[in-house]
Structure 1
Amino acid sequence: MKSLCLALFAAAMLTQVQAALVTKTISYRQGDTELRGYLAYDDSVTSDKKAPGVLVFPEWWGMSSFVKGRAGALAKLGYVAFAADMYGNGQFTSDHNKAKELASAVAGKPVMGERVQAGYDQLIKTGLVDDSKVATIGFCFGGACSQILAYSGAPLKGVVSFHGALIPASADAAKKNQAKFLILQGELDPLVPQAARTAFIKSMDEGKFDYQFLTYSGAVHAFMNPDADKARDDGLDGVGYDPEVATRAWAQMQLFFKEIFGQPS
């Protein structure tokens, strides 16, 4: 019996050693614009053994190490994660004035919807994703991107928005939407004022969405991102990292995914 236990333990350890995180920069297109997303998955996932997919939309900084790290963390949880490029050429900036310029060129324009759709399409094209089990998460600007994709009628199981800009759902969006929503906001976030929250919640109620709206006491904007404090020191008001809230919010996302997907296979 002892020998059998040792053999089983050794086999389990070998499986753990063999499992590895695969990451790739993926080039794809939206119209004439070349986009460069970031794909992460466990190498146990194959076209014959697919996993749920999670599309990740970044903050207005673009393709940062933070958003790539979140994709990697999702892959370690058993998901195929793809961080979508919203600006083209994998652009990233740490300057908040430049970030505002980049986001303003996309936000609220037709190209925003086209690029969120391009990200979704590229995730599915990997051939690694069970396309009946797809969700999206987004941070700040990316939270709005996630909402836009769901409102378009994309076949999503869920949307998770971390300190995201909130876009009230139209009646048409309510008819098209297929996703459950998890909205995670900081209580003291000055970039998403109470009026915006009230309008969003009203639209969710009127559209009969299945949604959760959680508010974290004491948290401001960008509470998930460890680089938020540097951005604040560089002159961006209203932001700040909160490690305790970040841990709680990420755990809440995991519970939500277990609800909509079941346990990763």
Structure 2
Amino acid sequence: MKTSIYILMVLFLLLGQTCAQAAIKIQTIEYHDGLTLLEGYLAYDEAIKEKIPAVLIVHEWTGPGSYVKKRAEQIASLGYAAFVIDMYGKGVRPGNPQEAEEASAIYRQDRQLMRRRAGAGLNEVKKIPLVDAQKISAIGYCFGGGVVLEMARDGADLKGVVSFHGNLDTPDPQDARNIKAKVLVLHGALDPYVNWEQVTNFEDEMSSARVDWEMVIYGNAVHSFTNPESGSDPAQGVAYNQLADLRSWQAMKDFLKEIF
């Protein structure tokens, strides 16, 4: 009987340690790009005491909402510090597709502004005490996928970038020669917003600059294939694809292990 009680006590202790290891700490961090106030979102496992690599997350065109925050918590559970950056400014949160189009267009039409705003997030994450400033990567979804590629083209000090169903075009393809990061693009074969001309131009851009790059194309996947909130009808051009979501997430995890 005493032996059984002892075993149970050990099991409870081990279970408690496991739960503690998975205790994800969440905090909001305000920072600036010039006079613009921005609001980022940090997630990390508070059981980890040493400095850890960081993963910047750039939101979709709707701004830093629940979807990317959930992704931040998932990345934190992998042992990284996850920081959702704010491209738009505190309180600027589009409420419908028209507002999202207008907000994102500001940055797509001004790539220098896009790069600077994203760079402000990178500078901020380097200041976070738990972050190993020599080990930072960036991932982005849709609009954010295009942003992380522009960060790379700007020569940002990143170990790697991952674009999930992001825009591939750029007005400055020659800037690919500035890329220091390894590049991973996760793309839906049927994405109507990123046509094959964009894909082939991107391939030529990366290869000409001799970038360490990889593109994975998921069959039957349209735009926004990682987001369950995108619906289930591919005919709309945006739809969730569970298989592509799971496979692309695994590809990202393998990539992060490689670069860190």
Structure 1 residue runs without a partner (length 5+): none
Partner of 2:66: 65
Is the CA contact (8 Å cut-off) linking 1:45 and 1:128 kept in structure 2? no
1:204 and 1:226 mapped to 2: Cα distance? 31
- The residue correspondences of 1:105-124 to structure 2 (distance < 5 A) are 105-109=106-110, 110-124=112-126
- The residue correspondences of 1:203-242 to structure 2 (distance < 5 A) are 203-229=205-231, 237-242=236-241
2:44 and 2:15 mapped to 1: Cα distance? 20
Partner of 1:40: 43
How far is the alpha carbon of 1:9 from its aligned partner? 4.9
Give CA deviations for 1:213-243 in whole Å, capped at 9, x if unaligned: 110000000001111128x79xx94111111
* Cα 1:165/1:149, change in 2 over 3 Å: same
- Aligned partner of 2:64: which letter? M
Q: Are residues 1:157 and 2:159 paired?
A: yes
Pairs aligned (count): 254
- SS of residue paired to 2:108: coil
1:36 and 1:90 mapped to 2: Cα distance? 8
Give CA deviations for 1:199-221 in whole Å, capped at 9, x if unaligned: 00000110111111110000000
- SS of residue paired to 1:182: strand
Normalised by the size of structure 1, how large is the TM-score?
A: 0.89
Is the CA contact (8 Å cut-off) linking 1:63 and 1:91 kept in structure 2? no
- Aligned partner of 1:75: which letter? A
2:109 and 2:153 mapped to 1: Cα distance? 13
Partner of 2:251: 252
How far is the alpha carbon of 1:93 from its aligned partner? 2.8
Partner of 1:146: 148
Partner of 1:85: 86
Give me the identity figure in percent. Answer: 40
**Pairwise CA RMSD:** 2.2
- SS of residue paired to 2:259: helix
- Aligned partner of 1:227: which letter? E
How far is the alpha carbon of 1:7 from its aligned partner? 7.4
Give CA deviations for 1:23-53 in whole Å, capped at 9, x if unaligned: 111111111111011110010234xx11110
How far is the alpha carbon of 1:178 from its aligned partner? 1.2
Normalised by the size of structure 2, how large is the TM-score?
A: 0.91
Give CA deviations for 1:235-264 in whole Å, capped at 9, x if unaligned: x94111111211111011001111111xxx
* Cα 1:156/1:71, change in 2 over 3 Å: same
2:7 and 2:120 mapped to 1: Cα distance? 49
Structure 2 residue runs without a partner (length 5+): none
Partner of 2:54: 53
